[in-house]
Amino acid sequence: MDTELKGKVVIVTGGNKGIGEGISRSFAAEGAIVVAFGRNREEGETFCEALRSEGAQAAFRLAELTRESEVVAAVSQTLEEFGRIDVLVNNAGVNDGVDLTAGVEAFRGSLEKNLTQCYALVHHCLDALKASRGNIVNIGSKVAETGQGGTSGYAASKGGLNALTREWALDLAGDGIRVNCVIPAEVMTPLYERWIARQSDPEGDLKAICDSIPLEKRMTTIEEIGDSVVFVASPKSSHTTGQILYVDGGYTHFDRRCTTD
């Protein structure tokens, strides 16, 4: 299938590792120009250099996304080099464990890291997205739907991102800009691998998690998330907007009594 993304300029925040890496690689495979935004120059440059060595077009922009001035600079640099922005993927974020005991300042900080930075980036990319009649894909979390416990800031942020997906889709429909949200659940990323390794029974805990995923009893791969984002962002989804798509093997919405012994 030709996704018609060749030569399109795609910003992916946190685009050089984990789910972001999968998203960046999927866009690169379709011939898009990937611009990864991140806060670790060495890691970001190394990743983009690897993509270029594979024949892709890729660039890294250093930005701490909670600092608006750095967001402005990274967007400006992208426009200076490539002249346009066609797709914005709000992927960067962290399940930081800011719970009810953490206090108001910690909660505000979690919102800055996981929600406010998404608003800032869309705000500063808006003119370019209007010019290209581009689209936005937000990366959410099952936590907004299911809760998790012990992560008030992240849950509130991802719930807010779902709401902004629908708000922006309505707000920007007149400009031809589509806005959708892709929701991962249990995805095997390097961060997840490190987390499961710290558990008292890593092998048993991982099996229990996989057994609760209805489709094939396995984790979702970063490639599956990336390919879903690419499809939603492509003209092949040209009349899809304001949607929240769960790419999770059925994990989020099925009764656990039907999926576990």
Summarised one tens digit per residue, pLDDT across range 192-236 is: 888 889 998 989 989 988 999 999 999 999 999 999 999 999 999
Q: How confident is the model at residue 261 (pLDDT cuts 50, 70, 90)?
A: low
- The whole-angstrom separation of Cα 121 and Cα 91 is 11
All structural domains of the chain, each given as residue ranges with its CATH number in brackets, are 9-185+222-249 (3.40.50.720), 188-219 (no CATH)
Mean pLDDT of 182-191: 90
pLDDT at 126: 98
pLDDT, one tens digit per residue, over 7-18 is 999 999 999 999
pLDDT tens digits, 20-78:
999 999 999 999 999 999 999 999 999 999 999 999 999 999 999 999 999 999 999 99
What's the angle, vertex CA 12, arms to CA 37 and CA 29, rounded to 5? 125
What is the radius of gyration, based on Cα positions, of the chain? 18
In our burial notation (b when 16+ CB lie closer than 10 A, e otherwise), range 214-252 reads beeeebbebebbbbbbbbbbbeebeebbeebbbbbbebb
Residue 59 φ/ψ region, left for φ over 0, alpha for ψ in the -120 to 50 degree band, beta for the rest: beta
89-113 pLDDT tens trace: 999 999 999 999 999 999 999 999 9
Q: How many CB atoms lie within 10 A of CB 106?
A: 15
pLDDT band of residue 254 (cuts 50, 70, 90) is confident
Q: Provide the pLDDT for residue 189.
A: 86
**Max Cα–Cα distance, the chain, nearest Å:** 56
Q: For residue 257, what are its two tokens?
A: 């009594």
Distance CA 68, CA 89 (A): 17
Q: Residue 259 has what pLDDT?
A: 67
Instruction: Identify how many contiguous H helices and E strands the chain contains and give both numbers.
Output: 10, 7
Q: Which of 12-26, 73-87, 166-180, 181-195 comes out lowest in average pLDDT?
A: 181-195
Amino acid, single-letter form, for residue 230? V
What is the band of 260 on the pLDDT scale with cuts at 50, 70, 90? low
Kindly provide the residue ranges of all beta strands, DSSP E only, lying in the chain, ordered along the sequence: 9-13, 33-38, 57-62, 87-90, 135-139, 178-184, 244-247
Strand partners, 89: 12, 137
Under 8 Å between Cβ of 31 and 54? no
What pLDDT does 190 receive? 82
Nearest alpha carbon to residue 20 among 39, 4, 7, 2: 39
Q: Are 88 and 121 in contact (CB under 8 A)?
A: yes
Candidates 44, 28, 46, 25; CA nearest to 36 is 44
Positions annotated as catalytic residues are: 154
